[in-house]
Chain A
Amino acid sequence: MPLTRKLKTLLLCSLSVILISCGNSEKENGPVVIRYWEKWNGFEADAMRLIVDDFNASQDEIFVEYSSVSQIDRRLMLAIAGGIPPDVAGLWNHALPVYAENNALTPLNRYTEAAGIGREDYISIYWDMCTHRNYLWALPSTPASTALIYNKKMFREAGLDPERPPRSIAELEAYNAKLMKRDESGRLIACGHIPAEPGWWSPNWVYWFGGDLWDGAETITADSPENIEAYRWVQSYPERFGARDLMSFKDGFGNFASPQNPFFTGRVAMVLQGPWIYNFIKNYAPEDFEWGVAPFPSVNPELFPNVTLVESDILVIPAGAEHPDEAFAFIQFVNSQVEMEKLCLAQRKFSPLAETSAGFFEEHPNPYIGEFIDLAKSPQAKTLPGTTVWSLYANEMRQAFGSVWTQTATTEEVLSEVQIRMQENFDHRARRWKRMEETLLTEWEKP
């Protein structure tokens, strides 16, 4: 009656196969190996590998193992939850608040104090974006600021002075009117500027109108008068050019990372971009492409001069990392002036440190790199809101932008909807924080 031996063997095999557990290989004597996860691939990864090699060669106690990890934010979340995180990880500054409040990072204050590193060593905004709830959670690796990048040739052809970019939103729109072209059938074929190209920071246009997205404490300010003014400006585009015309105009644009990028093909004359645009121009723009850099015009240049949105890649030590001390030694090494400039030069960005050597400017291939540094130092430099709800907030604001752009709702309607939804979410997170606050603060104080 019982099953044949064959079936038994089969079942036994399949069972035993899973029961073989693996023993961790024993550690060899030698340097402490620290694992470093970074989001970069390609030339950006090559740049960081140079620094890692320098560090490994500079001493023989610590060995850094670099790996490129795709979808690092999700991957890191799981690894930390599993209790087996890397020792160092490269994140974006906008992910910092949510990681910090979930107790997923190691506070660095103790380390920086011991190493004598302080806010004064950095362009202050980059130091500030590494802090949350009065603790320091990261040090910057490669930073960025954003500016108006414009096509000088298109300016000249439209009879505009290529050395005199617009300084206010009103001027921008005057330039826009001159740069706009339609073909004989009435289709849009070129324009000066549209807020949807490339549209990476549609929630943040409010900064150029003196607005902000939250008050820094407990209130979301999505529908403040300044923000409504900013989105009204967005709304004026479909009103002036026609929503459908704009859509087919934009549909004719090529991929950003291609020679058909509308900025390189002369379909859009002005864009908001960061220092990386140099790499794209070098790879994809025509040989005779002439470009300039200036602060992106604000609604009132007297009140709000040199407005810029700054972002940064950051280095963190995940909570539960095996070798936090050695990890910090590496982060500190990256943040030394020589290495930092080497890294940022290889990625064609600028150094987040307060001091930049003269040699850096001489060697830097981007002639406008100084402009980006000046903008990062501007008192009107703004960061993405340092709140844990930012990713949801950004999505809501992008939806609002889309509705205004396609004329399916008015500015006032969409922004007040965002306001209600986000304030609810924000309060929910605030309750979560209140519940955890005491435990977390005690834990962060622990040496």
Chain B
Amino acid sequence: MTRMEKKKLISGLLFISPWILGFLIFSVYPVLSSLYYSFCDYSVLSPAVWVGPENYHTLFNDEVFWKSISNTVFFAAFAIPMGMVLSLSLAILLNCKVPFRGAFRTIFFLPSLVPMVCLAVLWQWMLNGDLGLINNAIRPLLNTVNENFGTQLTAPNWLQEAAYAKWGLIFTGLWGVGHAVVIYLAGLQGVPQHLYESAEIDGAGFWVKTRHITLPIISPVIYFNTIMGLIGTFQVFAVPYVMTGGGDGPERSLLFMATYLYQNAFDYWNMGYACAIGIVMFVIILTLTYIATKLSERHVYYEGK
């Protein structure tokens, strides 16, 4: 190691030292203890008893756990891309020179501000099968289709039918894109205007500019939001938990990995089992993030590198 490298290493470590401390205290220690507990029969209150890999063995044969994995994957597979397209388009529109854009930016952020209790009640109404706003909107459409094609389509009972419950959750989840929009907006401020100007001189339209200037330059931010979306959707917990009143939804269609973990830890007094779920979840998310990072390496463009 040269003197220069050493110097850089020391100053680098000094800069990240607050994080290193926090990492040791709030991550390493808790993760090691939950790793240990995942091999124990442990209920938080009674002393942990070593049982070997029993929890993992039970876990891999637990149908309910597999169900929760498939629910989570399904949810993530739709929620991440839909959220990304919506938030990115909104951010680009909000970055245009339109009147009242300050007000618009605030409006799109509003649902992220409303407390969970209020949102949960409102969702239940919007998705209500009998009188919900969504069904009131789609019923005329369905009727037209039925009249013209002789079909028997009826509006679904969103939160009561297993086939639709996750879609209800995905749609309502789109309300929460405000955070991602704000991050994209901040990223868009970094795009140098002169690039647009020279592109315009070459006769480039909106799409060309977006595709060849905006997207590459904010690609680090897109990568950020994708990874956060991945981590967030795989740990989805609060919204379905509140919406179902702490349950699993019809046919366990709203049971996600994090819900099952939480139920085991605090409702069923199986902290050891919950820790095993936590470790498996951790490995799954880590693998996916690694894959996403590898895939994105070619597409993410860092000016500072």
Contact = CB atoms under 8 A, between A and B. Distances in A.
Contact of B130 (A248, A255, A392): A248
Contact of B251 (A77, A104, A406): A406
Given A14-B18, A395-B248, A406-B250, A251 B45 contact: no
B45 A11 contact: no
Interface residues of A, number: 40
A81 to B, nearest CB: 5
Interface residues of B, number: 33
A195 B161 CA distance: 18
B278 to A, nearest CB: 17
B199 to A, nearest CB: 41
Nearest to A409: B251
Contact of A251 (B49, B128, B248): B128
A7 interface: yes
Interface string A254-291: 01000000000000000000000000000000000000
Given A244-B154, A388-B269, A3 B14 contact: yes
B250 A251 contact: no
Interface in A95-122: 98-99, 101-104
A423 to B, nearest CB: 14
Interface stretch (A161-169, A219-227, A397-405): A397-405
Contact of B129 (A7, A247, A403, A406): A247
Interface string B36-59: 000001011110010000000000
Contacts of B267: 391-392, 395
Interface string B117-135: 0000100000011111000
A251 B45 CA distance: 41
B114 to A, nearest CB: 18
Interface in A210-268: 244, 247-252, 255
B49 A77 contact: no
Contacts of A251: 128-132, 157, 160
Nearest to B7: A1
A432 interface: yes
B251 A408 contact: yes
A412 to B, nearest CB: 18
Given A392-B268, A395-B248, A402-B250, A248 B46 contact: no
Given A252-B130, A406-B250, A391 B268 contact: yes
Contact of A399 (B43, B128, B252, B266): B252
Contacts of B142: none
- Chain A CB count within 10 A is highest, among B18, B43, B121, for B43
A432 B252 contact: no
A7 B14 contact: yes
A3 B46 contact: no
A3 B45 contact: no
Contacts of A406: 160-162, 250-251
Interface string B148-183: 000000100100111000000000000000000000
A74 interface: yes
B247 interface: yes
Contacts of A403: 251
Interface in B246-288: 247-248, 250-252, 263, 266-269
Q: Indicate the member of A15, A250, A251, A408 with the most B CB atoms within 10 Å.
A: A251
Interface in B3-35: 7, 11, 14, 17-18, 21
Given A77-B266, A247-B157, A103 B131 contact: no
A405 B13 CA distance: 60
A416 to B, nearest CB: 14
A436 interface: yes
Contacts of B252: 399
A247 B44 contact: no
Given A247-B160, A392-B268, A406-B251, 15 more contacts: A77-B266, A98-B269, A102-B45, A247-B129, A248-B129, A251-B130, A251-B157, A392-B267, A395-B247, A399-B251, A402-B250, A406-B160, A432-B41, A432-B46, A432-B49
Interface of B: 7, 11, 14, 17-18, 21, 41, 43-46, 49, 121, 128-132, 154, 157, 160-162, 247-248, 250-252, 263, 266-269
9 contacts: A11-B17, A101-B46, A103-B46, A251-B128, A395-B267, A398-B247, A406-B250, A408-B251, A432-B46
Interface of A: 1, 3, 7, 11, 14-15, 73-74, 77-78, 80-81, 98-99, 101-104, 244, 247-252, 255, 388-389, 391-392, 395, 398-399, 402-403, 406, 408, 432, 435-436
Q: What 6 A-B pairs have minimum CB-CB distances, sorted nearest first? A: A102-B45, A251-B129, A252-B130, A251-B130, A247-B157, A392-B268
